[in-house]
Structure 1
């Protein structure tokens, strides 16, 4: 992005016309970013609470950081660093913002959280199958003849890709819900939620029965084919239709289109793997591309993400003398309510009171009388309202950082457009200052943002000065992932395996409830900017017409959703965009939201979140 500045304020942001992928186009999420940077609710004053449950009052940086450092020092002296839990995710995805704090947590020997809230089941599935989380790059999309968005809504959540596939002859969306992408697709396949593995078995059955596999590719580049083929041949057509709800004729049509239009790209969304069988489903879809010999083909194959960031580790793990004990970030509510050994929580780059599943349990834990909570954020978020100390943070318009994408391979430095707003400080500054107050004198805590970036880049072939001037492509633009036939798996090949379709327990409630993302509801970042949400400012619940009649729910009326974890009130939108037995609401919102009902159990791989493996009961608002 390019920022226009006048009198120390960002007045406008636009897309960079020289960026090879975005080409001057800016997505709705960042359009009007200047209003967020200079939002009237931006925190410019530090806040502290003199007693749990008391009111927040203004403080200065010295008082606030002295309070944090003092409490941390006391806890470490009594129980060790294991009683202090840092809780974060990617924030604005800057390497300095997200990784520099690790130095302090390693020095303090604190436990850590993983990245389970987002995409780890899918990543683990790709690692097991091909050894890297890599796939087709955007510069090759002009070669694609059929594009299949599987559990993904790119028109809303990946608009730059949507523009690049405009001329792809055939666009297919596989999604239980009629998203905007599904509405515009040439073919929409609507399996029941969580049955995608069975749908893949059906597609594989058609491919094997018609001998549409690439035998030479299978022989040279895979292991496990015979066991997989045996499992595929055992599946019956009736079984596939019964479990998925997809007519067999549609399955045959998709298999034929995929066979006849090469290269074909299977683009897997992270929403697919936010299920109890998420890893199973991602692995199954990816194996379709292997059977047809398309992994390593420009414009074809499979894309889950391009996470292969070969930067130096700047976390300084050698500072640690113990651990770390790892906590699953989706189970935060459980830890805070069941583990009284945790005495402090430091939250940055995250808003778990809004984004974490089992919301009511999370909030109960945050309110614990003996828990010292610190939040470093730009706004008084849902989580910050539980804090004992609130520290004002900078936006990425105010700090230098190194930015990478999990889609394209361009790297660049984010140059600050303006100085930090009054009272705001970056993650690096706060962490360095806390280290100083805790008596940690290692030189790494005195590095500037530039120092840290240069250290991350050393030996990678990326030049700091070049990156300051604009985006730099890390890889060869003419190559594509796996085109050399090298797979860093134990066998050195694609490791195929048989799989089943794991059912999701309904917990005694009749409706499957999924909470996908849309244009400005991909996180909680814009929770206090309702004007960015358009029609989605209203917390709609999409419900099938027959289901609405059965439950006595009127279009536009209030709806109560509940299960054993909690309840939430939404507004009914009676629609055939959903299928019978399925209800859908876009997320994430501030305040009471659908996460009051979402489960905090882990998926089949990597303990990933399972937001979409959720069952609820519904009724009109007056239901008791």
Structure 2
């Protein structure tokens, strides 16, 4: 039996933890420790450790399915592909290309996301493409672009967190959503730093905090503005930094001054002494960070909320400096890379804008098409799903399960059922796939090679460790075959490295420039941070500078006063490790050939990615959530995840060990609310919103606000939390308001 292990990465969240896959005597693989990857150093959560369970033919699809007389039945690949191509072609001929919808996923590799976007625009000619990453960090992306000119989840590596002085963590329960990351915050506190957690629940993460702020759901914007008001009132503004590196301060300052502490206390429920203590903890150290996640971002004012937290960083000089900054904790495995390369409604590869003529010319040249043939921007994710069955008559869906994950999910389920034709590519028969006319079984993480981009902006190589079952094909093969059947014979290779080479050319010169990254480098260097431009011909023999590429301003390392490598290149280069086996992988930061860009672990140290190099303040003011409690619906609902399940649960709900730990949905509520209802632990509770009703057992805890209930969103059926959630959209990011809506709670059947 072959005993060599394959180094790769976890298939779940955006940490992309390193792991080794080793063969088992039964012909499968098991996860073993991989200590060389710096993010997790071998540690894994239960989801990562049990990931091979989903590779089993017992739980996954191994044959195409085609609907016949109302039932999905096994079919050959040719039958299934012919059916999809025939239906798409007929609908396009009758109704036009925009009658064809495409919906992707934040778990697709960069190669697959890139190819899916190209397929939609070149083969189908449709503008109607978006992906479920819109539901992840689109508000943080919009806020980051407004402020800094560039969006990357974290503009610094995770390893910087323990070295800063204070972190404000807003709306993240990373102890359950990405447990291996918690060690960075534990090390922060061990080093004398402090952690402030903002969350309406006392989560496992909040239990680790030096200060826990519990705002009323939907008031994170007011909270951030109140903290900035105190920064101004207490004379803590870094005036020199504001003057030299920012613009728009006076407008933002005026907006913040309208949010005095007592006013913010009334809005948020966070006391004035706590507000003052948070400001003291954040401002006293030399360096500090703000990190946001879905809590403040999944709101109808998420972009403004992110802008307010960025304002706090800018006013105190905590951005674009070593060990300081604003960052977003991306959720999905490739939520970052998935939107950088073209499956988002308004973007082309390299994070280029679809309505930019220069961007269209560049990408069209790489693709060998006329720029005028590329469609314009289409609908955002929820708007696309909401339009199904109207002017969008068919949908090709990859790696997403909106029946469980979309807001107002019962409505979206009905829209999917109203389509003329639905084709789904997935690993398992998800709740959405079960509605399809054709289901194609595709390869999984351990059965294919491809790149992912982590929440740090680190491009990584996941490597094939095992052969997929007979009857299963890759998404790249699916798109190749469909393109050929629809009249495009070339331009859709099935080899992921060939696709990545094209992606490099398409991204060159864009904000997310991957042109200097190769598969070989990803292996040798344990990942490369973008932007990483290829050197121009005239730069051969000189280190790529730390300047701007498409406005993306770099700064490769913190200048810690360490050793001098000679010529001032703009980068601190770590001397090559003399103990490294020459045949083995290079150490991160090892000396590179002189004409190779080292990648960009840390952004904005020299300038921001705006036209003038200055960060922009956001002049924002608090406004209520789209739906506030009233007499009929008097309680807030907020939603989230539990440690043993992931996203819509399509994969993790098929793992026995994970189901034993988290077997089903629940309603978390405070004892005072439970007493008013007459509810006991485990009683079935009905949670009712203006959109529907969900039923799950009560879980009573003092770790939640009395005016709020919480439900995890991993399950379908009567406990589906997203039956209740509000699709009210942020006007900029088009993010739905998952995190706050008004509900009433009743004892089911009473």
1:570 matches 2:726? no
Counterpart of 1:29 in structure 2 is 47
Counterpart of 1:515 in structure 2 is 639
| Preserved contact between residue 388 and residue 394 of structure 2 (Cα < 8 Å) | no
* Alpha-carbon separation, structure 2, partners of 1:159 and 1:484: 29
Shift of residue 39, structure 1, vs aligned partner: 5.1
1:350 matches 2:400? yes
Shift of residue 455, structure 1, vs aligned partner: 2.4
Counterpart of 2:455 in structure 1 is 406
Counterpart of 1:97 in structure 2 is 112
TM-score by length of 1: 0.93
1:554 matches 2:644? no
* Alpha-carbon separation, structure 1, partners of 2:251 and 2:557: 36
Matches within 5 A, 1:460-499: 460-469=515-524, 471-474=526-529, 476-478=556-558, 481-499=602-620
Task: Write the deviation string for residues 4-49 of structure 1: whole angstroms up to 9, x where unpaired.
Answer: 1246843211342111222122233211111111151211122111
Counterpart of 1:233 in structure 2 is 257
| Preserved contact between residue 199 and residue 212 of structure 2 (Cα < 8 Å) | yes
CA RMSD, 1 decimal? 2.3
Distance 1:502 1:533, change over 3 A: farther
| Preserved contact between residue 522 and residue 528 of structure 2 (Cα < 8 Å) | no
Match of 2:429 among 380, 394, 405: 380
What secondary structure is seen at the aligned counterpart in 1 of 2:30?
Answer: strand
* Alpha-carbon separation, structure 2, partners of 1:318 and 1:22: 43
Match of 2:66 among 26, 32, 48: 48
What secondary structure is seen at the aligned counterpart in 2 of 1:166?
Answer: helix
Counterpart of 2:586 in structure 1 is none
Gaps of 5+ in 2: 1-18, 331-335, 342-348, 351-362, 509-514, 531-555, 560-600
Distance 1:234 1:615, change over 3 A: closer
* Alpha-carbon separation, structure 2, partners of 1:102 and 1:232: 41
* Alpha-carbon separation, structure 1, partners of 2:730 and 2:523: 40
Shift of residue 322, structure 1, vs aligned partner: 5.2
1:586 matches 2:707? no
Task: Write the deviation string for residues 58-87 of structure 1: whole angstroms up to 9, x where unpaired.
Answer: 111111111111111211222222211111
Gaps of 5+ in 1: none
| Preserved contact between residue 322 and residue 605 of structure 2 (Cα < 8 Å) | no
Counterpart of 2:283 in structure 1 is 259
| Preserved contact between residue 637 and residue 710 of structure 2 (Cα < 8 Å) | yes
* Alpha-carbon separation, structure 1, partners of 2:253 and 2:487: 61
* Alpha-carbon separation, structure 1, partners of 2:732 and 2:249: 22
* Alpha-carbon separation, structure 2, partners of 1:497 and 1:377: 40
Match of 2:420 among 354, 367, 371: 371
Bigger mean CA deviation after superposition, 269-278 or 309-318 = 309-318
What secondary structure is seen at the aligned counterpart in 1 of 2:373?
Answer: coil
Bigger mean CA deviation after superposition, 469-478 or 63-72 = 469-478
1:502 matches 2:557? no
| Preserved contact between residue 64 and residue 439 of structure 2 (Cα < 8 Å) | yes
* Alpha-carbon separation, structure 2, partners of 1:274 and 1:507: 18
1:437 matches 2:481? no
Match of 2:218 among 175, 191, 194: 194
Matches within 5 A, 1:215-364: 215-304=239-328, 307=336, 316=367, 318=369, 321=373, 323-324=375-376, 326-337=378-389, 339=390, 341-364=391-414
What secondary structure is seen at the aligned counterpart in 1 of 2:197?
Answer: strand
* Alpha-carbon separation, structure 1, partners of 2:253 and 2:475: 51
TM-score by length of 2: 0.78
Counterpart of 2:358 in structure 1 is none
* Alpha-carbon separation, structure 2, partners of 1:44 and 1:553: 45
Distance 1:364 1:472, change over 3 A: closer
Matches within 5 A, 1:600-615: 600-615=727-742
Distance 1:5 1:477, change over 3 A: farther
Task: Write the deviation string for residues 370-402 of structure 1: whole angstroms up to 9, x where unpaired.
Answer: 521111111111001111111111101111111
* Alpha-carbon separation, structure 1, partners of 2:251 and 2:118: 46
* Alpha-carbon separation, structure 1, partners of 2:716 and 2:22: 30
Counterpart of 1:416 in structure 2 is 464
| Preserved contact between residue 411 and residue 473 of structure 1 (Cα < 8 Å) | yes
